[in-house]
Amino acid sequence: MASINYALKEISCKIVYYGPGMCGKTTNLQFIHQHITEDRKGKMVSLATPGERTLFFDFLPLEAPSIHGFDTKFQVYTVPGQVMYNSTRRLVLRGVDGVIFVCDSQWEKMRENVESFHNMEDNLASYNCSLDTIPYVVQYNKRDLGNVAPVRFLDWLINHRQVPSYEASAVEGAGVFETLNHACRLVLSNLRSKQQRGAL
């Protein structure tokens, strides 16, 4: 849940990268950490196994330019994609303001993508939330590989709400910042809309 500190004129939002195992969530975060200007980023925390699998979560604090006079901070998390860590995924989703769902574009990962998406919906439902109220964007990652499904099929399979989607290659950085920026904009717009409705 986003917090607004009117005394300090500060907004804090939480964004979570969600997706199946090995789809490139941590790679997205690493690329952002490596390529964002120093004054916009904090220290990245990552707890991974020797096989570079996320064990608990990755965390990267980001600071956006001032918006309407408010300093805007984003706490960006990734979830562990492995099936056995569902309780951790659910925990990371608590209080989320926006989601970036990362799909693995490879043909053989289609079922994992669908399962992960439904798993995300189920975990959000455990907090009485749904993707009808939480902004999210979809990122089709690994587009640089040869055995990838066409975007049209991925859209049909995953993107039922027809939300913004981006093709990306997180290792090369293609689409990484575009995805993040769009998700952040949606989160802030939603926040503003909630504030105007008095729901915040």
* Chain positions contacting another protein, by CB under 8 A: 32, 35-37, 40, 62, 64-65, 67-68, 72, 83, 86, 107, 110-116, 118-119, 121-122, 131-135, 147, 149-150, 152-153, 155-157, 160-164, 173, 177, 180-181, 184-186, 188-190, 192-193
CB-nearer residue toward another protein: 50 or 198: 198
Rounded to the nearest whole angstrom, what is the least distance from the CB of residue 72 to another protein in the complex?
8
Cα separations in angstroms, 101 against 44, 69, 123, 138 = 20, 30, 14, 5
Q: By C-beta, is 50 or 95 nearer to another protein?
A: 95
Task: List, as one string, the DSSP characters of 133-150.
Answer: TS-EEEEEE-TTSSSB--
Closest separation between CB of residue 146 and another protein, Å? 11
Distance in Å, CB of 31 to another protein, minimum: 9
Please state the closest distance from residue 8 (CB atom) to another protein, in A: 19
Q: 162-166 long-range contacts, Cβ below 8 Å, gap at least 24? A: 163/136, 163/137, 163/138, 164/137, 164/138, 165/137, 165/138, 165/139, 165/140, 166/137, 166/138, 166/139, 166/140
